[in-house]
């Protein structure tokens, strides 16, 4: 919920709209009927050269459902409103009531398939760096021409793809076994602090 969640669909819609006359071949959709599941997703990703993305997470957490009810009521009263109107009238006071943004599993999938990332600015859990691991696209698309130039630079793209693959996948730093090892270590440490 909030701007953080909205960015996930905005990046695709805006990219399609702003690049329609550039000659790029894009296959972008947020429709449920267009989604790929299971191995179909991996088959699709294996044929991509670039992948759009944003940080995972939300910028509004609604533990009681009150905010959702307010938004639903507003939309019922204003049938033709868009997200920006709902945001301004209902969601804005709650924006960043909890800040939860993180690197998305989709980023690791793109890295594994050696797909170049085009991402909105973000911290990406301190793992990714702009212009090293990904092409940074400003949220207002003000640098779109520079992004398109970078996309055409095959040496730059190849360098970025290899660096991202090496750091995220080949390094094994983010493998599940390391996650479990770190989790176990934290649990052992916490148990030792408890006086039983």
Q: State mean pLDDT over 159-175.
A: 95
Per-residue pLDDT, 195: 62
Find tokens 């090293």 and name the residue. 132
Domain 37-55+103-190 coded CATH 3.40.50.300: no
The structural domains of the chain, with segments of one domain joined by +, span 37-55+103-190
DSSP 70-122: HHHHHHHHSTT--HHHHIIIIIGGGTTSS-EEE--HHHHHHHHTTPEEEE-S-
Residues 44-71: tens digit of each pLDDT: 999 999 999 999 988 888 889 999 999 9
Cα 117 from Cα 160, distance rounded (Å) = 9
Q: State mean pLDDT over 131-154.
A: 98
Per-residue pLDDT, 196: 57
Query: Does residue 5 or residue 16 have the better pLDDT?
Result: 16
Name the token pair of 152: 């055409």
Instruction: Report the candidate in 166, 163, 174 with the shortest Cα–Cα distance to residue 131.
Output: 163
Residues 70-117: tens digit of each pLDDT: 999 999 999 999 998 999 999 999 988 877 889 999 999 999 999 999
Find tokens 């695709």 and name the residue. 12
């Amino acid at each position: 919920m909030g701007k953080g969640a909205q960015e996930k669909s905005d990046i695709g819609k805006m990219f399609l709209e702003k690049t329609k006359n550039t000659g790029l071949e894009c296959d972008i959709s947020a429709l449920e009927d267009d989604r790929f599941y299971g191995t179909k997703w991996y088959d699709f990703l294996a044929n991509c050269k670039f992948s759009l993305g944003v940080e995972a997470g939300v910028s509004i957490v609604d533990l009681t459902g009150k905010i959702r009810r307010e938004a639903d009521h507003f939309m019922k009263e204003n049938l033709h409103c868009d997200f920006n109107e709902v945001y301004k009238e209902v969601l804005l006071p709650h924006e960043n009531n909890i800040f939860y943004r993180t690197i998305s599993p989709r980023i690791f999938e793109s890295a594994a398939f050696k797909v170049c990332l085009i991402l909105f600015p973000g911290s990406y859990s301190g793992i990714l760096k702009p212009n090293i691991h990904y092409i940074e696209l400003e949220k207002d698309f003000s640098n779109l021409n520079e992004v398109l130039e970078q996309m055409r630079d095959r040496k730059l793209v190849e360098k970025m793809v290899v660096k991202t693959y090496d750091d995220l996948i080949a390094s094994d730093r983010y493998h599940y076994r390391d996650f479990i090892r770190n989790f176990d270590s934290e649990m052992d440490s916490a148990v030792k602090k408890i006086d039983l």
